Amino acid sequence: MKSFTVHKGITAPMDRANVDTDMIIPKQFLKSIKRSGFGPNLFDELRYMDVGEPGQDNSTRPINEDFPLNYPRYKGASVLLARENFGCGSSREHAPWALDDYGFRAVIAPSFADIFFNNCFKNGLLPIVLDEGAVDKLFTEMYADEGYELTVDLEQQKVITPSGEEIAFEVDEFRKYCLLNGLDDIGLTLQEADKIKAFEQKYQQDKPWLFE
């Protein structure tokens, strides 16, 4: 998993409430259990004018020119600014996979659905909860400033605007540790690899009949 320390990136809007996981990555793309390859189909039903299918050549599809991620000003965006209850709906882990594969490193919103919120941390994506007033102000600044970039400092737990304003956010200490060090559940387990190996060897010595 990629570590997250300080990230600065162009900010793009998802200016609607209750964006569910089916909107983030539609159900027809859930056939794959790989963590990569979902970026081109992020927000598929909003980005394109036709119905997308797995394996389709997206370069030939008609795009929705009214969808912000298709605007040139948001090209290469890596911070997503969203509204309340982002990531609601089903618990598909493909949703943070798609956001990450597209290039987003952080999502800022007034609130998140619990399962989506947890899945983000497990996949190297930082979900940041700010109060609604702060999010409103960020939307206003972003719309007024093409190329608007936010800096997210996880270690200091701050979102920093282009004007230098610092907005503090809360994050669980254990989740913060995992993100700073790029540790998912497997990475955490492998930190104890020597102890696991020693246990397996002793267990085999104590109960050899189980391994015959």
Reading the chain (212 residues) residue by residue, the pLDDT tens digits are: 888 999 999 999 999 999 999 999 999 998 877 778 899 999 999 999 999 999 899 999 999 999 999 999 999 999 999 999 999 998 889 999 999 999 999 999 999 999 999 999 999 999 999 999 999 999 999 999 999 999 999 999 999 999 999 999 999 999 999 999 987 766 565 555 566 676 777 767 777 877 77
Note the pLDDT of residue 188.
61
Rounded to an integer, what distance in angstroms lies between the CA atom of residue 135 and that of residue 114? 19
Q: Where are the domains of the chain?
A: 6-181, 184-212
Note the pLDDT of residue 191.
59
The pTM is what?
Answer: 0.88
| CATH architecture of the domain covering 6-181 | Alpha-Beta Barrel (3.20)
Nearest Cα residue to 185 out of 124, 127, 129: 124
